[in-house]
Protein backbone atom coordinates (compact mmCIF):
# COMPACT_ATOMS: atom_id res chain seq x y z
CA UNK A 1 0.00 0.00 0.00
CA UNK A 2 1.26 3.49 -0.85
CA UNK A 3 0.01 7.07 -0.56
CA UNK A 4 -0.29 9.08 -3.78
CA UNK A 5 -1.75 12.44 -4.72
CA UNK A 6 -4.18 12.37 -7.63
CA UNK A 7 -6.31 15.05 -9.30
CA UNK A 8 -9.56 13.11 -9.32
CA UNK A 9 -11.48 15.26 -11.85
CA UNK A 10 -8.91 13.94 -14.34
CA UNK A 11 -9.16 10.36 -13.00
CA UNK A 12 -12.80 9.32 -13.41
CA UNK A 13 -12.14 5.65 -12.65
CA UNK A 14 -10.51 6.50 -9.33
CA UNK A 15 -13.24 9.03 -8.55
CA UNK A 16 -15.84 6.33 -9.20
CA UNK A 17 -14.02 4.03 -6.77
CA UNK A 18 -14.11 6.73 -4.09
CA UNK A 19 -17.84 7.20 -4.60
CA UNK A 20 -18.34 3.46 -4.27
CA UNK A 21 -16.27 3.39 -1.08
CA UNK A 22 -18.33 6.27 0.30
CA UNK A 23 -21.53 4.33 -0.37
CA UNK A 24 -20.10 1.23 1.31
CA UNK A 25 -18.98 3.22 4.36
CA UNK A 26 -22.39 4.90 4.64
CA UNK A 27 -24.07 1.49 4.64
CA UNK A 28 -21.79 0.25 7.42
CA UNK A 29 -21.62 3.41 9.55
CA UNK A 30 -25.17 4.72 8.89
CA UNK A 31 -23.75 8.18 8.13
CA UNK A 32 -22.30 9.62 4.91
CA UNK A 33 -18.51 9.91 5.26
CA UNK A 34 -18.21 12.70 2.68
CA UNK A 35 -20.32 15.83 2.49
CA UNK A 36 -22.05 17.04 -0.66
CA UNK A 37 -19.32 19.59 -1.42
CA UNK A 38 -16.53 17.04 -1.13
CA UNK A 39 -18.43 14.54 -3.29
CA UNK A 40 -18.79 17.25 -5.95
CA UNK A 41 -15.05 17.91 -5.66
CA UNK A 42 -14.34 14.40 -6.95
CA UNK A 43 -15.53 15.46 -10.41
CA UNK A 44 -15.79 19.27 -10.47
CA UNK A 45 -12.46 20.89 -11.31
CA UNK A 46 -13.83 24.34 -10.41
CA UNK A 47 -13.71 23.41 -6.71
CA UNK A 48 -9.96 22.73 -6.98
CA UNK A 49 -9.93 20.06 -4.28
CA UNK A 50 -6.77 18.07 -3.59
CA UNK A 51 -6.92 14.30 -3.03
CA UNK A 52 -4.58 11.87 -1.35
CA UNK A 53 -5.27 8.21 -2.02
CA UNK A 54 -4.20 5.09 -0.20
CA UNK A 55 -3.67 2.64 -3.07
CA UNK A 56 -3.08 -1.09 -3.24
CA UNK A 57 -2.11 -1.59 -6.87
CA UNK A 58 -4.99 0.27 -8.59
CA UNK A 59 -7.49 -0.23 -5.76
CA UNK A 60 -8.46 2.71 -3.52
CA UNK A 61 -8.37 1.80 0.17
CA UNK A 62 -8.76 5.30 1.54
CA UNK A 63 -8.91 8.97 0.58
CA UNK A 64 -8.25 12.32 2.18
CA UNK A 65 -9.84 15.28 0.37
CA UNK A 66 -8.75 18.88 1.05
CA UNK A 67 -10.65 21.98 -0.05
CA UNK A 68 -8.10 24.57 1.05
CA UNK A 69 -9.63 24.99 4.48
CA UNK A 70 -10.54 21.60 5.90
CA UNK A 71 -10.39 17.92 5.03
CA UNK A 72 -12.65 14.90 4.94
CA UNK A 73 -11.36 11.37 5.36
CA UNK A 74 -12.63 7.98 4.24
CA UNK A 75 -11.22 4.48 4.69
CA UNK A 76 -12.80 1.40 3.14
CA UNK A 77 -14.67 -0.62 5.78
CA UNK A 78 -12.62 -3.72 4.98
CA UNK A 79 -9.31 -1.89 5.31
CA UNK A 80 -9.73 -0.21 8.68
CA UNK A 81 -7.47 -0.68 11.73
CA UNK A 82 -4.41 -0.85 9.48
CA UNK A 83 -3.14 2.71 10.06
CA UNK A 84 -4.37 4.04 6.72
CA UNK A 85 -6.11 7.08 8.21
CA UNK A 86 -3.02 7.97 10.23
CA UNK A 87 -0.80 7.74 7.14
CA UNK A 88 -3.14 9.92 5.10
CA UNK A 89 -3.36 12.56 7.82
CA UNK A 90 0.43 12.58 8.20
CA UNK A 91 0.64 13.99 4.67
CA UNK A 92 -1.55 16.94 5.68
CA UNK A 93 -0.29 17.57 9.19
CA UNK A 94 -2.21 20.33 10.92
CA UNK A 95 -5.29 20.25 8.68
CA UNK A 96 -8.74 20.47 10.24
CA UNK A 97 -10.66 17.25 9.64
CA UNK A 98 -14.40 16.62 9.58
CA UNK A 99 -15.74 13.57 11.39
CA UNK A 100 -19.27 13.04 10.11
CA UNK A 101 -21.40 11.43 12.80
CA UNK A 102 -18.48 11.78 15.23
CA UNK A 103 -18.26 8.00 15.44
CA UNK A 104 -16.26 6.28 18.23
CA UNK A 105 -13.50 5.29 15.78
CA UNK A 106 -13.07 8.94 14.73
CA UNK A 107 -12.96 10.05 18.36
CA UNK A 108 -10.30 7.44 19.15
CA UNK A 109 -8.18 8.42 16.13
CA UNK A 110 -8.38 12.10 17.05
CA UNK A 111 -7.32 11.34 20.61
CA UNK A 112 -4.36 9.26 19.43
CA UNK A 113 -3.23 12.11 17.16
CA UNK A 114 -3.69 14.80 19.80
CA UNK A 115 -6.59 16.47 17.98
CA UNK A 116 -9.52 18.14 19.73
CA UNK A 117 -13.03 19.21 18.65
CA UNK A 118 -13.11 22.83 17.48
CA UNK A 119 -16.46 22.97 15.69
CA UNK A 120 -19.70 21.05 16.07
CA UNK A 121 -22.45 21.01 13.45
CA UNK A 122 -25.81 19.56 14.45
CA UNK A 123 -28.27 17.83 12.15
CA UNK A 124 -31.81 18.42 13.41
CA UNK A 125 -34.99 16.91 12.04
CA UNK A 126 -38.74 17.29 12.30
CA UNK A 127 -41.33 14.83 11.03
CA UNK A 128 -44.89 13.58 11.01
CA UNK A 129 -47.46 15.59 12.99
CA UNK A 130 -44.88 17.97 14.43
CA UNK A 131 -43.96 18.91 10.86
CA UNK A 132 -47.57 19.45 9.86
CA UNK A 133 -48.03 21.87 12.77
CA UNK A 134 -44.72 23.66 12.18
CA UNK A 135 -45.51 24.15 8.49
CA UNK A 136 -48.56 26.33 9.10
CA UNK A 137 -47.67 29.51 7.21
CA UNK A 138 -49.23 32.94 7.24
CA UNK A 139 -47.65 35.67 5.13
CA UNK A 140 -46.68 38.71 7.22
CA UNK A 141 -48.13 42.10 6.41
CA UNK A 142 -45.79 44.01 4.10
CA UNK A 143 -44.30 40.88 2.52
CA UNK A 144 -44.78 39.24 -0.84
CA UNK A 145 -43.48 35.65 -0.97
CA UNK A 146 -42.27 34.43 -4.37
CA UNK A 147 -39.92 31.73 -5.58
CA UNK A 148 -36.78 32.34 -7.64
CA UNK A 149 -38.38 31.77 -11.04
CA UNK A 150 -41.34 34.02 -10.26
CA UNK A 151 -38.96 36.72 -9.04
CA UNK A 152 -36.75 36.55 -12.13
CA UNK A 153 -39.79 36.70 -14.39
CA UNK A 154 -40.83 39.91 -12.64
CA UNK A 155 -37.54 41.74 -12.07
CA UNK A 156 -34.89 39.98 -14.14
CA UNK A 157 -31.93 37.76 -13.29
CA UNK A 158 -29.44 40.57 -12.55
CA UNK A 159 -31.54 42.31 -9.89
CA UNK A 160 -32.72 39.11 -8.23
CA UNK A 161 -29.34 37.41 -8.01
CA UNK A 162 -27.67 40.57 -6.74
CA UNK A 163 -30.34 41.02 -4.07
CA UNK A 164 -29.98 37.36 -3.11
CA UNK A 165 -26.20 37.69 -2.80
CA UNK A 166 -26.46 40.83 -0.69
CA UNK A 167 -29.00 39.25 1.66
CA UNK A 168 -26.91 36.09 1.94
CA UNK A 169 -23.64 37.88 2.68
CA UNK A 170 -25.39 40.16 5.16
CA UNK A 171 -26.98 37.26 7.02
CA UNK A 172 -23.86 35.05 6.96
CA UNK A 173 -20.95 37.47 7.22
CA UNK A 174 -19.68 35.33 10.13
CA UNK A 175 -20.06 31.94 8.47
CA UNK A 176 -16.96 30.10 7.13
CA UNK A 177 -18.75 28.44 4.18
CA UNK A 178 -21.88 30.49 3.49
CA UNK A 179 -20.50 34.02 3.82
CA UNK A 180 -18.58 36.15 1.34
CA UNK A 181 -20.20 34.74 -1.79
CA UNK A 182 -19.86 36.33 -5.22
CA UNK A 183 -21.81 35.70 -8.43
CA UNK A 184 -19.52 32.85 -9.48
CA UNK A 185 -19.95 31.10 -6.13
CA UNK A 186 -23.72 31.47 -6.34
CA UNK A 187 -23.82 30.09 -9.88
CA UNK A 188 -21.64 27.17 -8.82
CA UNK A 189 -24.08 26.32 -6.03
CA UNK A 190 -27.02 26.65 -8.43
CA UNK A 191 -25.30 24.17 -10.72
CA UNK A 192 -25.88 21.28 -8.31
CA UNK A 193 -27.87 18.49 -9.94
CA UNK A 194 -30.60 18.77 -7.29
CA UNK A 195 -31.13 22.54 -7.69
CA UNK A 196 -34.66 23.71 -8.53
CA UNK A 197 -35.67 27.35 -8.96
CA UNK A 198 -39.02 26.63 -7.33
CA UNK A 199 -37.24 25.50 -4.14
CA UNK A 200 -35.69 28.94 -3.52
CA UNK A 201 -38.24 31.11 -1.72
CA UNK A 202 -38.03 34.85 -1.14
CA UNK A 203 -39.63 37.44 1.13
CA UNK A 204 -39.86 40.65 -0.93
CA UNK A 205 -40.67 43.98 0.70
CA UNK A 206 -43.99 45.02 -0.84
CA UNK A 207 -42.84 48.65 -0.96
CA UNK A 208 -40.35 47.82 -3.72
CA UNK A 209 -38.00 45.18 -5.11
CA UNK A 210 -35.99 44.92 -1.86
CA UNK A 211 -35.23 41.42 -0.62
CA UNK A 212 -36.00 40.97 3.07
CA UNK A 213 -35.00 37.32 3.32
CA UNK A 214 -34.72 33.99 1.57
CA UNK A 215 -35.31 30.33 2.33
CA UNK A 216 -33.41 27.98 0.06
CA UNK A 217 -34.81 24.48 0.41
CA UNK A 218 -33.42 21.21 -0.89
CA UNK A 219 -35.26 18.09 -2.03
CA UNK A 220 -33.42 14.81 -1.28
CA UNK A 221 -34.06 11.88 -3.61
CA UNK A 222 -31.09 9.67 -2.66
CA UNK A 223 -33.20 7.56 -0.31
CA UNK A 224 -36.81 6.47 0.09
CA UNK A 225 -39.00 8.08 1.10
CA UNK A 226 -37.74 11.38 -0.32
CA UNK A 227 -37.36 14.19 2.20
CA UNK A 228 -36.68 17.91 2.44
CA UNK A 229 -33.99 20.13 3.92
CA UNK A 230 -33.86 23.68 5.23
CA UNK A 231 -30.73 24.32 3.16
CA UNK A 232 -30.11 28.01 3.86
CA UNK A 233 -32.41 30.56 5.49
CA UNK A 234 -31.50 34.15 6.28
CA UNK A 235 -32.89 37.63 6.88
CA UNK A 236 -31.21 40.86 5.78
CA UNK A 237 -30.18 43.10 8.68
CA UNK A 238 -32.70 45.84 7.84
CA UNK A 239 -35.57 43.39 8.29
CA UNK A 240 -34.59 41.73 11.54
CA UNK A 241 -36.64 42.41 14.64
CA UNK A 242 -39.94 42.46 12.74
CA UNK A 243 -40.95 38.92 13.59
CA UNK A 244 -40.42 37.73 10.01
CA UNK A 245 -37.87 35.00 10.79
CA UNK A 246 -40.47 32.50 12.00
CA UNK A 247 -42.78 32.92 9.00
CA UNK A 248 -39.80 32.69 6.62
CA UNK A 249 -38.85 29.35 8.17
CA UNK A 250 -42.44 28.12 8.04
CA UNK A 251 -42.71 29.14 4.39
CA UNK A 252 -40.01 26.65 3.47
CA UNK A 253 -41.47 23.92 5.69
CA UNK A 254 -44.87 24.44 4.07
CA UNK A 255 -43.32 24.24 0.60
CA UNK A 256 -41.50 20.99 1.38
CA UNK A 257 -44.58 19.51 3.03
CA UNK A 258 -46.55 20.27 -0.14
CA UNK A 259 -43.94 18.32 -2.11
CA UNK A 260 -44.77 15.26 -0.01
CA UNK A 261 -42.06 15.38 2.63
CA UNK A 262 -42.86 13.71 5.95
CA UNK A 263 -39.38 14.53 7.32
CA UNK A 264 -37.27 17.67 7.06
CA UNK A 265 -33.70 18.19 8.25
CA UNK A 266 -31.47 21.20 8.79
CA UNK A 267 -27.88 21.91 9.83
CA UNK A 268 -27.04 24.38 12.59
CA UNK A 269 -23.88 25.26 14.49
CA UNK A 270 -23.98 23.68 17.96
CA UNK A 271 -22.77 26.91 19.59
CA UNK A 272 -25.64 28.90 18.04
CA UNK A 273 -27.77 28.43 21.13
CA UNK A 274 -30.57 30.85 20.18
CA UNK A 275 -31.11 29.15 16.80
CA UNK A 276 -31.03 25.66 18.33
CA UNK A 277 -33.65 26.69 20.87
CA UNK A 278 -35.87 28.17 18.16
CA UNK A 279 -35.73 24.95 16.18
CA UNK A 280 -36.36 22.81 19.26
CA UNK A 281 -39.36 24.94 20.18
CA UNK A 282 -40.72 24.43 16.68
CA UNK A 283 -40.42 20.65 17.04
CA UNK A 284 -36.96 19.82 15.66
CA UNK A 285 -34.70 17.39 17.52
CA UNK A 286 -31.00 16.50 17.12
CA UNK A 287 -30.42 13.42 14.97
CA UNK A 288 -26.68 13.60 14.18
CA UNK A 289 -23.56 15.59 15.01
CA UNK A 290 -20.61 16.41 12.74
CA UNK A 291 -17.35 17.56 14.30
CA UNK A 292 -14.19 19.27 13.10
CA UNK A 293 -11.06 18.01 14.85
CA UNK A 294 -7.99 20.23 14.92
CA UNK A 295 -4.43 19.73 16.03
CA UNK A 296 -3.76 21.15 19.47
CA UNK A 297 -0.82 22.95 17.86
CA UNK A 298 -3.21 25.01 15.62
Is residue 276 marked as binding?
A: yes
Give the H/E segment covering residue 4: strand 2-6
Is residue 106 marked as binding?
A: no
Is residue 18 marked as binding?
A: no
Is residue 101 marked as binding?
A: no
Is residue 273 marked as binding?
A: yes
Read off φ and ψ for residue 155, nearest 5 degrees: -120, -10
Is residue 94 marked as binding?
A: no
Buried/exposed code over 5-19 (b: 16+ C-beta within 10 A; e: otherwise): ebebbeeeebbebbe
Is residue 86 marked as binding?
A: yes
Is residue 125 marked as binding?
A: no
Is residue 196 marked as binding?
A: no
Give the H/E segment covering residue 232: strand 227-235
Is residue 133 marked as binding?
A: no
Is residue 83 marked as binding?
A: yes
Is residue 267 marked as binding?
A: yes
Count Cβ atoms within 10 A of the Cβ of residue 42 and give its class: 0-12 exposed, 13-18 middle, 19 or more buried: buried
- Please tell me the distance from the alpha carbon of residue 23 to that of residue 33, in angstroms, as a whole number: 8
Is residue 84 marked as binding?
A: yes
Is residue 36 marked as binding?
A: yes
User: 268 forms bridges with which residues in the sheet?
Assistant: 122
Is residue 168 marked as binding?
A: no
Is residue 197 marked as binding?
A: no
> At 204, is the secondary structure helix, strand, or coil?
strand
Is residue 177 marked as binding?
A: yes
> At 13, is the secondary structure helix, strand, or coil?
helix
Is residue 6 marked as binding?
A: no
Is residue 277 marked as binding?
A: yes
* Binding site as annotated, residues: 36, 73-75, 81-86, 177, 218, 229, 233-235, 267, 272-277
* Binding site as annotated, residues for acetyl-CoA: 73-75, 81-86, 233-235, 272-277
Amino acid sequence: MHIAQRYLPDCPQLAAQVRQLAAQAAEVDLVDPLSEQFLRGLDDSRLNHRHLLALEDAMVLGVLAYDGTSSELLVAPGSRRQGIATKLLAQFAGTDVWAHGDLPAAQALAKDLGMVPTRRLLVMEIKDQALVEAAEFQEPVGVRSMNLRESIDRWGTELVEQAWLEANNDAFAWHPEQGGWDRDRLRLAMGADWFEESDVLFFWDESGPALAGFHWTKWHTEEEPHFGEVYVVGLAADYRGRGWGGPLLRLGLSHLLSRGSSRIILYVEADNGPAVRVYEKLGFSISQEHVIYSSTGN
